[in-house]
Amino acid sequence: MSGQDYEAPSGAFSQRDDATAGSGAMIYRCGDCAVRVPLEKGAPIRCQKCGARVLYKERTKRMVQFEAR
């Protein structure tokens, strides 16, 4: 049978990856005001807007595959 083949989604980094690649800064989320906080390596862990010290890592930009079971 001649069917048009799919491009199965790959597990690698995708083009949807909108992290600030190149600058070396990691993006975090402030635990208090939910603002995006870019942090350089070694920088104090602190929200630049409200000063909160709890920051959350963003979800992975990789595709995750699940069985619907």
Determine if 57 is a binding residue for another protein (CB under 8 A): no
Q: Are 51 and 62 in contact (CB under 8 A)?
A: no
Nearest distance in Å: CB 22, another protein: 21
Q: Are 39 and 33 in contact (CB under 8 A)?
A: no
Q: How many residues belong to the site for another protein (CB under 8 A)? A: 19
- C-alpha 67/C-alpha 46 separation (Å) is 38
User: The sheet that has 36-39: what strands, in order across it?
Assistant: 36-39, 26-30, 55-57
Nearest distance in Å: CB 41, another protein: 25
Determine if 15 is a binding residue for another protein (CB under 8 A): no
Report the interface residues with another protein, using CB under 8 A.
1, 3-6, 8-9, 14, 16, 34, 59, 61, 63-69
